Amino acid sequence: MEESLAGGFGGEDASARAQRRTADAALVTFLGRQGFKGPHYDTFINGLMDYGWRTLSGWSVNGLIFQRTARMGRPVPAEMVPAVWQYDDRTQVVTDTVLKGTTLFREHGLVRGKWNPNGGASLTTYFVGASILAFRPVFIRWYKAHHLGQAELDHRTADTDDVLNAQRDIPDQRATDPAHAAATYDDITRLRPLLPDEQVREALSWVTLGYTHTEAATMVGLTPKALERRLARARTKISASGLQRVPLGGGGAR
């Protein structure tokens, strides 16, 4: 695993890499004294998550992410690789991938001490590598859910030319379960001290009602990319607090 994570994603020369690893080692020692939690760790991991999100987002646009994950021995089946990948879908997969990668990076690399300055990878490279390792299962889960939903739609409309009428028996995706809505409202109330960002709170309310991230972002005056970044930071903060019952952005639509 360490060899895979040290797979050489950077372009620094040997001297610069040595200096970076020395600085990284000092940082890990400092954060380790605090149990890899607290405000210093939050600042550190938020910076890595932002970098990882931007990196994987770029690779998802040009398809390089599929080459990277294959190079690590975790290829996505060729028939699943999309010819055209919509922005919302790419954003969803990349965000979930970075979140999973963050957990792997912290638990494996930091808490268990698997990262070390002599392993060949900087912390940044190690984090990106951890995210790439998380990509395949996240993508396959999205692919199956996405194509199952499309197959259901195709099946219902296959025998009629009246697409609008044929779709009337498909449940309204914004018809929220009242019990779920009530539970979510209670959860958001409990988490309010950890969500000082009013736009994030409002966006979560819209997502809970079944709106897409793009729609929710528009309603609160953010771009979809800006909303995803804020949600990623909020997830990290809530995860560190131990209050993890609500999946931020999971929605409550049936």
Q: What is the pLDDT of residues 18-41, one digit of tens each?
A: 888 889 999 999 999 999 999 999
Question: Do 93 and 197 fall into the same domain?
Answer: no
Residues 107 and 188 in one domain: no
Asked whether residue 185 is assigned to any structural domain, the reply reads yes
Phi, psi of 176 (to 5 degrees): -85, 145
Same structural domain for residues 194 and 101? no
**pLDDT value at residue 88:** 83
- Residue 153 domain flag: yes
Between CA 202 and CA 207 the distance in angstroms is: 9
**16 and 141 share one domain:** yes
- Gap between the Cα atoms of 52 and 190, Å rounded: 29
Final residue of a structural domain among 109, 130, 157: 157
What is the domain extent for residue 8?
Answer: 2-157
Residue 173: both structure tokens together = 């995706």
- In this structure, the answer to whether residues 73 and 146 fall within a common structural domain is yes
What's the confidence (pLDDT) of residue 186?
A: 58
98 lies in the same domain as 191 = no
Asked whether the beta carbons of 125 and 10 are under 8 A apart, the reply is yes
Let me know whether 118 and 23 are in one domain: yes
Sequence-separated contacts (24+) of 11-18 with Cβ below 8 Å? 17/122
Of 97, 123, 157, the domain-final residue: 157
Q: Are 208 and 251 in contact (CB under 8 A)?
A: yes
How far is CA 220 from each of CA 207, 211, 252, rounded to the nearest angstrom? 11, 12, 19
> Pick from 61, 56, 41, 162: which is nearest to 99 by CA?
56
Q: Do residues 93 and 40 share a domain?
A: yes
Domain limit, last residue, from 133, 157, 181? 157
Residues 124 and 196 in one domain: no
For residues 136 and 35, membership in a common domain is answered with yes
- Point out the residues of the chain with pLDDT beneath 70: 1-13, 148-196, 208-210, 237-254
63 and 189: one domain?
Answer: no
